[in-house]
Amino acid sequence: MIEFPEKILDELVNLKSELEKIESKLDSIIENVKSSSAKSPSVTPTTETVEMRKPSQVVEEQEAKEKVEEKPVEGRIRCPQCDSLQFSEVENRNKVLYYQSGAPIYAKKKVCRKCGEEF
């Protein structure tokens, strides 16, 4: 039972010595930075204005840029309304292709995930 507190005390002493080493290194780094900043010319602030934009404007600009950069791939299906490549296929219950074992097999139609256009 007495060994456990002694081990903890030894660990604390070791940690304290390591902390002192790190603090001394940090102090030397701070001194180096101070001396180098004194030697180098000071940085003067510029009078440039920074344009503030809403995050939604940034996203819209990125999407427009991606759309321009996107090269059409031959044979890919696109939405006829919004030119999107994101769509899902659902059964077209208006068109029965054939009956298999008495169950109707329907044609498929595509629904755009962006604008909802069916094609």
pLDDT digits 0-9 by tens, 49-63:
667 778 888 888 888
Q: What predicted TM-score, i.e. pTM, was given to this entire model?
A: 0.36
Residue 101: inside a domain, yes or no? Answer: yes
Residue 92 lies in a domain: yes
DSSP string covering 72-103: P-TT----TTT--S-EEEEEEEEEEEEEETTE
* In-domain check, residue 88: yes
Would 115 be classed as within a structural domain? yes
Domain of 100, in residue numbers: 84-119
Provide the pLDDT confidence category of residue 73 given band limits of 50, 70 and 90: low
Is the confidence at residue 40, as pLDDT, over 70? no
Least confident of 8-12, 66-70, 94-98, 101-105: 66-70
Decide: residue 106, CB within 10 A, 0-12 exposed, 13-18 middle, 19+ buried.
Answer: middle
In a domain, 69, yes or no: no
Say how many domains are in the chain: 1
Is there a domain that residue 5 lies in?
no
In a domain, 102, yes or no: yes
> Is the residue at 29 inside a domain?
no
